[in-house]
Chain A
Amino acid sequence: GAVVSQHPSRVICKSGTSVKIECRSLDFQATTMFWYRQFPKKSLMLMATSNEGSKATYEQGVEKDKFLINHASLTLSTLTVTSAHPEDSSFYICSAKPGSETQYFGPGTRLLVL
């Protein structure tokens, strides 16, 4: 139980294009989902907290217009990187919380912007 999927697992795009990453909780409903970014050999940095049916809460320093988050249902949250640039290349990981204190993580999405 408590499986979280992400799609795509990796994506390569041209600079200036937008990329959407999906995060799904497969066997539970997630009232809250989180989006993290991980740089090579670094820890995870929380980008935003996504609550179903409401606006996401972004961490300080994260551009909300750059990283659009939508949590349209209790099993799906999406992160759209708009007008991507090479510095946005990173490993993006989502997690979902079913109402308890424990977060379950997706497998991550490797984004490479050329």
Chain B
Amino acid sequence: AQSVTQLGSHVSVSEGALVLLRCNYSSSVPPYLFWYVQYPNQGLQLLLKYTTGATLVKGINGFEAEFKKSETSFHLTKPSAHMSDAAEYFCAVSGSNSGYALNFGKGTSLLVTP
């Protein structure tokens, strides 16, 4: 089975500041890791994913995440926050032993202040 823990249900940053959203995972098989973003009353949009290969993955809107097996982490970062980045962010994990069903973290609400 797989699970993820997102540290911090709310994160507030100033516009232009670094965004860091934390995600730690637990998996008995090689994990597939994902970050999704959700805007109010909308579905989820894939930001980026890690399956195999390069551990630093780049996604849309300037986001990137690094898979660190030794730390069982997959933290999401963006060098400079924009007001439009304010949303709910979900980390998720899946694996071959679960039919690739996603297990989501509880989500982190990102607030960007002027």
A residues with CB within 8 A of B:
4, 6, 32, 34, 42-44, 46, 49, 57, 91, 93, 95, 97, 101-108, 110
Could you tell me if B102 and A32 are in contact, using CB atoms closer than 8 angstroms?
A: no
Could you tell me if B100 and A110 are in contact, using CB atoms closer than 8 angstroms?
A: no
Q: Which candidate, B13-21, B36-44, B63-71, B76-84, is the interface stretch facing chain A?
A: B36-44
Cα A43 to Cα B34 in complex, Å, equals: 14
Q: Using Cβ atoms and an 8 Å threshold, which residues of chain B touch A91?
A: 41
Of A46, A102, A104, A108, the contact of B101 (CB 8 Å cutoff): A46
Could you tell me if A49 and B99 are in contact, using CB atoms closer than 8 angstroms?
A: yes
- Indicate if B106 sits at the interface (CB-CB under 8 A): yes
Assign chain B's interface to a size class. 20 to 34
Count A-B contacts at CB 8 Å: 52
Could you tell me if A46 and B102 are in contact, using CB atoms closer than 8 angstroms?
A: yes
B residues with CB within 8 A of A:
32, 34, 36, 41-46, 49, 51, 90, 94, 99-107
Could you tell me if B36 and A102 are in contact, using CB atoms closer than 8 angstroms?
A: no
Could you tell me if B44 and A105 are in contact, using CB atoms closer than 8 angstroms?
A: yes
Q: Using Cβ atoms and an 8 Å threshold, which residues of chain A touch B106?
A: 42-43
Q: Using Cβ atoms and an 8 Å threshold, which residues of chain A touch B43?
A: 4, 6, 93, 105-108
What are some 13 contacts across the A-B interface (CB < 8 A)?
A43-B105, A43-B106, A57-B99, A93-B43, A95-B44, A101-B32, A101-B51, A101-B94, A104-B46, A105-B43, A105-B44, A105-B46, A106-B43
